[in-house]
A and B are shown apart, each in its own frame.
Chain A
Amino acid sequence: MATEPVIGLRSPDLSVGTVTAMKAVFVRDLKTAFRQPQDLLNPLLFFVMVVTLFPLGVSPEVSFLQQAGSGILWVAALLSVLLSLDHLYRHDFDDGTLEQLVLQPQPLFLLVLAKSLAHWVLTGLPLVLLTPVLGIMVHMEGNSVVVLCLTLLIGTPVLSLIGSIGAALTLGLRSAGVLLSLLIIPLYIPVLIFGTGTVTAAAEGAPVEAQLALMGAFLVLALTLAPFASAAALRISLSNS
């Protein structure tokens, strides 16, 4: 005890900024996901398989598929996002990363936002990229496919953001998967309606700018509100564990 270097409080300017911290969360989620590529592939395979069920189970007729195509693809995309949501916080919860995330000094809702965006990049975006192929397989017209991709591009982030609330609420519960679907599906309905409605309108030759703008408004609303709800839900779930 010759010298007495006293440990003082940390000065704020030594800290990491919010954007840097968000980036770190985002990068870590992507890195972890790419170490286990099968988990990334599963929702995509599920998407393709659900779409395949419709021609087999209902009718392979071109006229039916053409009419129902946008709905089938939207429902299948919605279900595969739902399927992947269970993983959003589960692993982090199990290995303790989530505790450390909540204890970071940056605002939690922004870190949660980063996680939701990572989830979208890992599930929603690949679904959008796969959609043209499946659109052609269900005989949709070129113009409709483009509009469908656009609606999915705007809509799937909303699915990830709202889904994150449900995933946070059901964290650490038994049979969380089914419960999660139960809570979240009703909240997905508006996105589904506008997603498919826009494509239908486009197929009939009507202008779709207004609907797309409205979906954009949904996205903005989800971006601003959902992270707060998810952050609150995460705190509650962790408090319980």
Chain B
Amino acid sequence: MSEPLLQAVNLECERDDRVLFRGLSFSILPGTLIRVEGPNGSGKTTLLRILAGLNDSYSGDLLWRGKNRHGFREEFLRNMLYLGHRPGIKPLLTPMENLRALMDGRRPVPDKILWQALEGTGLGGFQTVPCRNLSAGQQRRVALARLLIADEPLWILDEVFTAIDIQGVGALERLLVERVENGGAIVVTTHHDLRLPSMQRVTLGGGDGHGY
């Protein structure tokens, strides 16, 4: 059970002649939440994109359930959910259509469930309004609705709390805690002061943040 889902071994990433991190190793176990910390520009987003498989200019190894991830692209992607800065919401489509399109690539879900998920993120009544008429926070909530129905065991969430109001933040924290208690694995970055039980930290931008 406590086999790590994803393991980073000796990760190193260099960007524009600057070493962002070096010799970074950690394991993502089921039932844990890992918070990636560091000042602006320390490579938090880059690390998350590397973990998600979007950025492959790194050296070191990424092991998916103990084996090199390269051979398990399909299985890895099936079991991983990534939400980035740009949440993948098309301004021209409605929240329903957006959620539909995002889920269509991953899992068949009936419309009723999608509708409920949007209600669950506080978008009840906005389901069929084009997203460009929604506020930034509401647009993020459309993307967050995926978390209410996602069954991927590994979540990688970049700045999830951005543009969400205080009450929403509280609810979202509860969602993450519950998820972790049920055995999900979550990696997050956030500037919001997140204090969850059994939260692990990966800190970037430490001593060897530069290569000279």
Q: Out of A4, A7, A24, A239, which one reaches B55, CB within 8 Å?
A: A239
B181 neighbours in A (Cβ, 8 Å) = 1
Contact between B106 and A16, CB atoms less than 8 A apart: yes
The size of the chain A interface, using a CB distance under 8 A, is 38
- Roughly how many angstroms separate A91 CA and B84 CA in the complex, as a whole number? 16
- Roughly how many angstroms separate A95 CA and B93 CA in the complex, as a whole number? 12
Write the chain A residue with the least CB distance to B82: A103
With most chain B CB atoms within 10 A of its CB, the pick from A1, A99, A106 is A99
Interface residues on B, range: 35 or more
Contact between B53 and A103, CB atoms less than 8 A apart: yes
At the interface, yes or no: B166 with Cβ under 8 Å from chain A? Answer: no
- Roughly how many angstroms separate A105 CA and B64 CA in the complex, as a whole number? 15
B interface majority secondary structure: loop
- Roughly how many angstroms separate A36 CA and B183 CA in the complex, as a whole number? 43
A219 to chain B, nearest CB (A): 27
At the interface, yes or no: A174 with Cβ under 8 Å from chain B? Answer: no
List CB contacts (< 8 Å) of B47-103 with chain A.
Answer: 52-57, 73-75, 77-80, 82, 84-93, 97, 101-102
B16 to chain A, nearest CB (A): 11
A140 to chain B, nearest CB (A): 38
Contact between A32 and B90, CB atoms less than 8 A apart: yes
Given A28-B93, A239-B54, verify A16-B108 contact (CB < 8 Å). Answer: yes
- Roughly how many angstroms separate A138 CA and B106 CA in the complex, as a whole number? 50
Q: Out of A20, A91, A102, which one reaches B104, CB within 8 Å?
A: A20
Given A21-B104, A32-B90, verify A239-B77 contact (CB < 8 Å). Answer: no
- Roughly how many angstroms separate A123 CA and B188 CA in the complex, as a whole number? 41
Given A8-B153, A239-B54, verify A105-B182 contact (CB < 8 Å). Answer: no
- Roughly how many angstroms separate A182 CA and B73 CA in the complex, as a whole number? 34
Q: Out of B56, B86, B101, which one reaches A239, CB within 8 Å?
A: B56
Given A96-B86, A106-B105, verify A32-B92 contact (CB < 8 Å). Answer: yes
The 4 closest A-B pairs by CB, nearest first: A96-B86, A24-B104, A35-B92, A104-B105
Chain B residues packing against A (C-beta within 8 Å): 1, 30, 52-57, 73-75, 77-80, 82, 84-93, 97, 101-102, 104-108, 130, 151-153, 179, 181-184
Chain A residues packing against B (C-beta within 8 Å): 1, 4-10, 12, 14-16, 20-21, 24-25, 28, 31-32, 35-36, 91, 94-97, 99-106, 111, 235, 238-239
